[in-house]
């Protein structure tokens, strides 16, 4: 009996020190790779919108994304967007040039991502955003170079966030009209064409359309260089703030053109994924109201 009591007394402090999972963070898919978690979340949401019945027409959706680190440093944050076309059932549609037809359960679809970064970013993930005293306010003082750009896939982009242990946020999926999908395809083709370079601070390059940031690459699909807020590109307009600003623009402009078919709440619609070193353990950075945990 005394031995049992001794064991109990030794274990009790350990139990008392064990902290519950962070509030709002779901650890049920902790062992599932981050990219798979995100894709499964998109599939579940889109499938729910389509329902179980026959899909008699093409349906179109956008999923805006962002990632950022603690402190939301611009060189460690990114805004990007995925676009989906779910093909009508039992029809022979005209497929989009350059897109692969895929299948999920009984649905066929096309999808692409606009994720604009320097072309060598996978091997050299060191982003120059502001270089020089006063460069955040005065763009002429910014010494960052112009880079050859590339639009990365969703899987590649999520790997960048994973490697940096960043928090990832997604909004939607939001349903859009076909003209909105066509604008997304047009933007992707423009970026893939090689005529536009990458620069995180693109304020000096709007007139001659030389270079563009990730923020503007996914914003203003009907206008290449929309106004991003204070200081043009926007003060603190990167990471979650940047994508939220894009959504505000979509609702303020594209909605009136009947492209965005769903209402948008930039705060309530946001779902995220946060890094946790251990299952049910502390989360180093959790800026989200609702999120799933991932491990590297």
- Cβ neighbours for 165, distance < 8 A, ≥ 6 positions apart: 69, 275, 284, 285, 296
Query: What's the pLDDT tens digit per position in 5-49?
Result: 333 333 333 333 334 455 789 999 999 999 999 999 999 999 999
Among the listed residues 173, 177, 223, the one whose alpha carbon sits nearest the alpha carbon of residue 62: 173
Number of CB atoms found within 10 A of residue 157's CB: 25
Q: How many CA atoms lie within 13 A of 89 on its CB side?
A: 11
Residue 235, token pair as written in the block: 């003060």
Q: What band does 254 get if pLDDT is binned at 50, 70 and 90?
A: low
What is the three-class DSSP state of 95?
coil
What is the three-class DSSP state of 189?
helix
Query: What's the pLDDT tens digit per position in 143-158?
Result: 999 999 999 999 999 9
Q: Has residue 50 got a pLDDT over 80? A: yes
Query: What's the pLDDT tens digit per position in 199-219?
Result: 999 888 866 778 988 988 887
Q: Has residue 3 got a pLDDT over 70? A: no
* Cβ atoms of 213 and 199 closer than 8 Å: yes
Domain ranges of the chain: 20-294
pLDDT number for residue 223: 53
Q: What band does 246 get if pLDDT is binned at 50, 70 and 90?
A: confident
- Measure Cα distances from 205 to 146, 172, 201, 208, 225 in Å: 10, 31, 9, 6, 9
Provide the H-helix boundaries in the chain: 2-17, 34-50, 154-163, 178-192, 214-218, 239-249
- Rounded percentage of the chain residues whose pLDDT exceeds 90: 55
Mean pLDDT of all residues belonging to the chain? 84
């Amino acid at each position: 009996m005394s031995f049992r009591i001794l064991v109990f007394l030794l274990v009790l402090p350990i139990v008392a020190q064990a902290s519950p999972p962070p509030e709002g963070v779901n650890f049920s898919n902790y062992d599932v790779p981050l990219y798979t978690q995100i894709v499964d979340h998109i599939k579940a949401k889109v499938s729910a919108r389509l329902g179980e019945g026959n899909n008699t027409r093409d349906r179109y959706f956008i999923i805006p994304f962002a990632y950022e680190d603690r402190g939301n440093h611009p060189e460690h944050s990114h805004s990007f967007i995925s676009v989906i076309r779910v093909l009508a059932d039992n029809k022979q549609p005209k497929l989009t040039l350059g897109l692969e037809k895929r299948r999920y359960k009984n649905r066929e679809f096309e999808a692409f991502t606009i994720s604009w970064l320097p072309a060598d970013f996978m091997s050299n993930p060191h982003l120059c955003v502001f270089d020089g005293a006063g460069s955040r306010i005065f763009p002429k003082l910014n010494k960052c170079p112009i880079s050859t750009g590339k639009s990365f896939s969703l899987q590649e982009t999520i790997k960048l966030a994973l490697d940096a242990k960043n928090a990832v946020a997604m909004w939607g999926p939001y349903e859009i009209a076909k003209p909105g999908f066509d604008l997304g395809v047009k933007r992707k083709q423009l970026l893939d064409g090689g005529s536009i370079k990458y620069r995180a601070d693109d304020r000096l390059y709007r007139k001659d359309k030389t270079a563009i940031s990730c923020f503007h690459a996914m914003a203003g699909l009907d206008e290449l260089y929309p106004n991003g807020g204070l200081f043009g590109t926007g003060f603190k307009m990167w990471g979650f703030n940047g994508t939220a600003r894009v959504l505000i623009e979509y609702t303020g402009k594209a909605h009136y053109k009947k492209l965005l078919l769903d209402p948008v709440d930039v705060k309530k619609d946001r779902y995220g994924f946060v890094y946790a070193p251990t299952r049910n353990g502390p989360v180093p950075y959790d800026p989200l109201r609702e999120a799933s945990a991932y491990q590297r």
